[in-house]
Structure 1
Amino acid sequence: MGAASAIILVLITLFLPPLGVYAIAGCGADLFINICFTLLGYFPGHIHAFYLEYVYFDRQEQAKAGQLNPTPAPCIYSDRIQRGGHGYGTIVQPTM
């Protein structure tokens, strides 16, 4: 995901936090939790959504560098976010 995609995702999350969570986590526990937080108040939904996006992009950068942290991030139930969007296969090391 490039910088333009990240900016678009942040803009989507500003207006509709569950839609931003759905874009990175899919339909699952994290989406349900975010919908509940958003119904409780617009601000808690934003905090949760931006936390998920931060972990997603941080793990994605770690995976690109070949240093993916095996410890799961707290309060995140989506494997896709935990892995930074990468699959179960091996991570190709960047060539220099």
Structure 2
Amino acid sequence: MGDTATCVDIILAILLPPLGVFLKYGCKIEFWISLLLTILGYIPGIIYAVWVITKN
């Protein structure tokens, strides 16, 4: 698999940000940051998740 984000990854990141990040990185720091941002506010969680999934 390549390092590019698929449409499914981005859709998951929009619907449930921590799940999208978890499927790409597992239970690393990116997941916990995404979970915290989603708890504090749904929109920041989405922005962070999409950014993390699409970055190189």
Normalised by the length of structure 1, the TM-score is 0.52
2:33 corresponds to 1:39: no
Larger radius of gyration: 1
**Aligned residue number for residue 93 of structure 1:** none
Give % identity: 35
| Bigger helix share | 2
Structure 1: state its 5+ residue gaps.
60-96
Structure 2 residue runs of 5 or longer lacking an equivalent are: none
Aligned to 1:12: 12
**Greater RCO (CA < 8 Å, at least 6 residues apart):** 2
Report the equivalent of 2:26: 26
* TM-score, scaled relative to structure 2: 0.84
**Residues 1-96 of structure 1: pairs in structure 2 closer than 5 A:** 1=1, 6-55=6-55, 59=56
* C-alpha RMSD over aligned residues: 1.6
